[in-house]
Structure 1
Amino acid sequence: MQNNNTLTGGQALVRLLANYGVDTVFGIPGVHTLELYRGLPGSGIRHVLTRHEQGAGFMADGYARVSGKPGVAFIITGPGVTNAATAIGQAYADSIPMLVISSVNHTASLGKGWGCLHETQDQRAMTAPITAFSAVALSAEDLPELIARAYAVFDSERPRPVHISVPLDVLAAPIARDWTNEVVRRAGRGLPSADALRQAVDKLAAAKRPMIIAGGGALHAADALAALSERLAAPLFTSVAGKGLLAPEAPLAAGATLCVQAGWDMIAEADVVLAIGTEMADTDYWCERLPLTGEVIRVDVDSRKFNDFYPSAVALLGDSKATAEALLAALPAAARDASGARDRVAQLRKQIDGSHAPLQLIHKAILERIAKVLPDNAFIASDMTQLAYSGNYLYPSKAPRGWLHPTGYGTLGYGVPAGIGAKFGAPERPGLILVGDGGFLYTAQELATATEELDSPLVVLLWNNDALGQIRDDMISLDIEPIGVLPRNPDFALLARAYGCEVRQPQSLDELERELCEGFAHPGVTLIELKHACAK
């Protein structure tokens, strides 16, 4: 019988997580995670019951994107891990801090092939390629070290998921000593070398047409980037992950437009490009290579990014905010004449407005209605759907951490659970989810979690074109007969009502605007189904 004064490994791990500041975990309890759940009462950590482990992972992702804190998921051995793997891969691709704690079979059985419940040959190996690291805690004493190592990744390196497997016997056995207060946090990501900073300052000061590209690694550097853009008279582009770093009305805000021809043409004119906190991936640009003709100065915490597709003229290894502030301090104090750069950004905006295809014009009209009524502090979580693809560069995000999109991995089913998770990361912020009919059916069951747990506004805007629209269009453009892209959908209104959602089905854009306003005033979940024909 367990001594009431002695913690099991599972209980102690939960207490340790609470001491690291974890306030929410997403998961589904199972026979292999009972000792973790023994530790939750009284810990101060809220448990959110998801309806699938993939949903738990996506919710942890959304939580992390809006809060800046690691999202945490508890999942079971074997199928729990494989179910969550897609969400882990998405977080890895987009550099999102996530801590996945799973059970694994008893230590004595590992690698033996005994046929234990949920057994896999090597559970750690399944997540190793999609995590910063994946490890097995072979004793309770390993746990504080592994959690400290995970937070070193989150605090000091490129933030990516970490998976820690804990054998059943380690979870259940009493700990030999209390290590639940052994919290180790790193100081941060630091500054580049003085020599590298000096080289960067010299190149930026001499540049005639400098431009900036900022990404998700610079979300905490918005003020410094705005000042740097003004000081250099440099238009500022962002990746999709960096949307909102500069106010959309700012004269030098070029937006997330490096995925359209007008943006590609403009960045080709730069003689120096400062790329800060962005891996400059083709998933951000919808092309394999940007047509860069000038020198590239890169600021990153991942040294592997300095000599990939865009070799660095100067490599600045360090924190985006601290580095931007150091550059500002060293550059000449007088701001340059920005009239030419502002005119070029205004021209970019006109070029984009004049280049929309018919489908993008429909999307633009919907996005304009959303922007008109969306509360200033709201966030948007989007799925892989054509409406969101247009929104990636057309929607005017007003602040960082306001547009959540599965850019790098590009998985369907992200939007709904990520939006739900974001509500737990920022409960005071209204949320809007943009999802297509195809992606919605990947994770629609998580509406049960939303209606069960949320008492503040979350609106799901379901763009229903009764097709896997992007793939259908791609097939047609390649002269491939459309196969498997015209599914028979359920009655989405009935489905949403079954989960307890308020439901609206606007028949025009004017009605959509009214329904969005009502949804943002409703303390719960509203599903708005917008048919393609009603948006024309």
Structure 2
Amino acid sequence: MKIIKSISGGEAIIASVIENNADTIFGIPGAQIYPLFDGIFKSKVNLITPRHEQTAAYMAMGYAKSTGKTGVFSVVPGPGILNTTAALCTAMGNCTPLVALTGQVPTSFVGKGRGHLHELTDQSGTLRTLIKEAISIDNPQNTSRQVNEAFRLAQSGRPGPVSVEMCWDTMADVSDFTIDEPVYPSELDESIDLDSINDAVKMLVSAKKPMIMCGSGALDAAEEVLALAQLFNAPVSAFRSGRGIVSEDSPLGVPPVAARELWGDVDVLIGIGTRLEMPYMRWGNYMNYESAPSSGPKLIRIDIDPKQMDIFKPDVAVVADAKKACRLLFNKLSNKVKPNAFRLDEISTAKHLAWKAIQKMQPQMSYLSVIRDVLPRDGFYIPELSQMGFTTWAGGLPVLAPRTFIDAGFQGTLGYGFPTALGVKVANPDKAVLSVCGDGGFMFSAQELITASEHNIGLITLVFNNQGYGNVMRDQKMGYGGRLSGSELTTPDFVKLAESCHVRAHRVFTPQQLKPVLEMCINKNQPALIEIVGERGEEVSPWEFINMTSSLKDKERVDQIW
């Protein structure tokens, strides 16, 4: 416990944030939070100031998602914190721990509806509809305890965002503050229902061809997941956030389309820290909610969030941390099962068939081949809601390590990619980080090129310019008689735009031209933009490989009949 005398409420918040091992804050100052930013100035915390509040939150999300640490950002209340809500709901959806620091109207105005600067009717109540918790520090002497609680909540259970607010006058008032050491929950404190573990063991002992699917809840359990998979030679797959937990160039790492090829023979599925969107929504009826599997293999779910077991009911529900549950299962199964030697050949065949099939997604696959060839194994790839991004969902980019493929998750947040990637690079300055955008999504935050330049954030941004919202355009052509409504875009000169922000820029037209330019940019490790020019509508749709209601073999048989 530390006692710090004569500091403001804002300084006390920052002192408490530092006690929780935060080293970077992304934020934009304003009237109600001046004392907080004064506390940042007096500390050794790294401050990154973007040009839009939504970017502050996205950058914190990228920082957190790529490291596993809690990301911190600060913006003014009212319209400031509301500007961050797209990032907050994205972080809630993809289980990213964030702490948002904001202000509030002066104490005497709270709840009065007088119309004070940035006043909302119920700021905390509004935020609680989107995030894990919204904390109001009413008593300044509780500052340290409540900031510690925010960090604990952000990381505990299913991770997610938590906000902390303090009134304008309270944040400015100088007082004596006690800064408490944070108490982190121990893994040993988490009890697991051993009956559920034993039920899972019984099911797996008799399994012939089990499969494992991972989500973000398994990101810190890569070693344990692989050990469990090796007991059976079970394929390990994921849709988005869980990609790379088992490397997709290893014998058991299986990208999505290959997993679909193996799906018909699977008798037990182990879902670890995942909502299982891929097999039960993407491979089923995406428009029809089911509370439990209506067909397919027996299902074991391992998830730290007990609510998940009610949302989608498995045959065996193990409510637990992924690392601990996988370790228990391994220990109980290691002398009871043995690897299926034939499974390795089946997995290899499925991967080969899938890779061959998805080559039709051009020109995306040719560009992704160049990117995978140049990007180091520990390099980061942040997609966008674009044709290139959707192609990666189908496995077009093999993911080789956990946390290196950072997706928006089920929110499907257009425009998240570039600002999130900036945060990834801040957290990983010595590693290669690629933001791969379409021209539409990139323009949501193109102004942040100047942020990259100002703070020397060595992010490499690839902008695929097809002058349109490509996915919308294709849907309107296919389903709405070709009536293009709002999907065609006029784009700026991206090279000149980047150069005006002091960012090195290049323009290429082919995958062959991209390779040497991308290699050079990675080696320089400086802010860079590469515009890839294409034709409107030239991309082959990836959706047949994402919403796969049948396997490639079944589809081939149907095609032959017709």
Give the TM-score of the pair, scaled to structure 1: 0.93
- 5 Å-filtered alignment, 1:329-408, equals 329-333=331-335, 336-356=338-358, 358=360, 360-392=361-393, 393-408=395-410
Work out the CA distance in 2 between the residues paired with 1:284 and 1:79. Answer: 38
Work out the CA distance in 1 between the residues paired with 2:97 and 2:205. Answer: 35
CA change 1:321–1:272 in 2 (3 A) is same
Offset from partner CA, 1:175-229 (integer Å, 9 cap, x none): 3x42223322211373522222111112111111111111111111111111111
- 2:446 is aligned to 444
The amino acid of 2:266's aligned partner reads: A
The amino acid of 1:343's aligned partner reads: D
Work out the CA distance in 2 between the residues paired with 1:462 and 1:191. Answer: 47
Work out the CA distance in 2 between the residues paired with 1:108 and 1:280. Answer: 48
- 1:197 is aligned to 197
- 2:548 is aligned to none
- 5 Å-filtered alignment, 1:291-306, equals 292-306=295-309
SS at match of 1:503: strand
Say which is worse superposed, 4-13 or 100-109, in terms of deviation: 4-13
- Report deviation, 1:348: 2.2
Q: Is the 8 A contact 2:29 2:75 kept in 1?
A: yes
- Report deviation, 1:245: 0.8
Say which is worse superposed, 177-186 or 385-394, in terms of deviation: 177-186
Work out the CA distance in 2 between the residues paired with 1:211 and 1:292. Answer: 15
SS at match of 2:220: helix
Q: Is the 8 A contact 1:301 1:318 kept in 2?
A: yes
Which sections of structure 1, spanning at least 5 residues, go unmatched?
Answer: none
- Report deviation, 1:114: 1.1
Q: Is the 8 A contact 1:132 1:160 kept in 2?
A: yes
Work out the CA distance in 2 between the residues paired with 1:263 and 1:523. Answer: 36
The amino acid of 2:304's aligned partner reads: V
SS at match of 2:270: strand
Q: Is the 8 A contact 2:12 2:143 kept in 1?
A: no
Q: Is the 8 A contact 2:384 2:438 kept in 1?
A: yes
- Report deviation, 1:101: 0.8
- 2:87 is aligned to 87
- 5 Å-filtered alignment, 1:179-198, equals 179-188=178-187, 190-198=190-198
Work out the CA distance in 2 between the residues paired with 1:265 and 1:518. Answer: 38
Say which is worse superposed, 519-528 or 338-347, in terms of deviation: 338-347
Work out the CA distance in 2 between the residues paired with 1:405 and 1:313. Answer: 29
Work out the CA distance in 1 between the residues paired with 2:368 and 2:415. Answer: 21
CA change 1:107–1:284 in 2 (3 A) is farther
- 2:471 is aligned to 470
- 1:280 is aligned to 276
Pairing 1:488–2:484 present: no
SS at match of 2:378: coil
SS at match of 2:40: coil
Work out the CA distance in 1 between the residues paired with 2:477 and 2:31. Answer: 48
Pairing 1:167–2:170 present: no
Work out the CA distance in 1 between the residues paired with 2:249 and 2:340. Answer: 15
- 5 Å-filtered alignment, 1:73-112, equals 73-112=73-112
Pairing 1:238–2:235 present: no
Work out the CA distance in 1 between the residues paired with 2:116 and 2:219. Answer: 45
CA change 1:376–1:233 in 2 (3 A) is closer
Q: Is the 8 A contact 1:156 1:187 kept in 2?
A: no
- 1:499 is aligned to 501
SS at match of 1:7: strand
- 1:427 is aligned to 429
Work out the CA distance in 1 between the residues paired with 2:239 and 2:178. Answer: 41
Pairing 1:308–2:311 present: yes
The amino acid of 1:301's aligned partner reads: I
Q: Is the 8 A contact 2:135 2:150 kept in 1?
A: no
Q: Is the 8 A contact 2:5 2:177 kept in 1?
A: no
Offset from partner CA, 1:222-246 (integer Å, 9 cap, x none): 1111111110221111131011111
- Report deviation, 1:441: 0.5
Q: Is the 8 A contact 2:91 2:97 kept in 1?
A: yes
Work out the CA distance in 2 between the residues paired with 1:316 and 1:5. Answer: 48
SS at match of 2:174: coil
- 1:55 is aligned to 55
- 2:556 is aligned to none
- 1:225 is aligned to 225
CA change 1:376–1:251 in 2 (3 A) is closer
SS at match of 2:342: helix
Aligned residues: 525
CA change 1:408–1:247 in 2 (3 A) is same
Offset from partner CA, 1:146-170 (integer Å, 9 cap, x none): 2232222233311010011211122
Work out the CA distance in 1 between the residues paired with 2:354 and 2:469. Answer: 26
- Report deviation, 1:284: 9.6
Q: Is the 8 A contact 1:151 1:185 kept in 2?
A: no
The amino acid of 1:344's aligned partner reads: E
Q: Is the 8 A contact 1:27 1:74 kept in 2?
A: yes
Say which is worse superposed, 299-308 or 134-143, in terms of deviation: 134-143
Work out the CA distance in 1 between the residues paired with 2:295 and 2:230. Answer: 22
Which sections of structure 2, spanning at least 5 residues, go unmatched?
Answer: 540-562
Pairing 1:120–2:120 present: yes
Work out the CA distance in 2 between the residues paired with 1:283 and 1:146. Answer: 40
Q: Is the 8 A contact 2:435 2:460 kept in 1?
A: yes
Work out the CA distance in 1 between the residues paired with 2:70 and 2:422. Answer: 16
Work out the CA distance in 1 between the residues paired with 2:263 and 2:344. Answer: 14
- Report deviation, 1:265: 5.0
SS at match of 2:353: helix
The amino acid of 2:71's aligned partner reads: G
Q: Is the 8 A contact 1:268 1:291 kept in 2?
A: no
The amino acid of 2:384's aligned partner reads: D
Give the TM-score of the pair, scaled to structure 2: 0.89
- Report deviation, 1:248: 1.6
- 2:265 is aligned to 269
Work out the CA distance in 2 between the residues paired with 1:113 and 1:46. Answer: 36
- Report deviation, 1:263: 3.6
Q: Is the 8 A contact 2:358 2:396 kept in 1?
A: no
SS at match of 1:197: helix
Structural RMSD (CA): 2.1
- Report deviation, 1:126: 2.1
- Report deviation, 1:533: 4.6
Q: Is the 8 A contact 2:465 2:534 kept in 1?
A: yes
- Report deviation, 1:127: 1.3
Work out the CA distance in 2 between the residues paired with 1:233 and 1:459. Answer: 38
- Report deviation, 1:336: 2.5
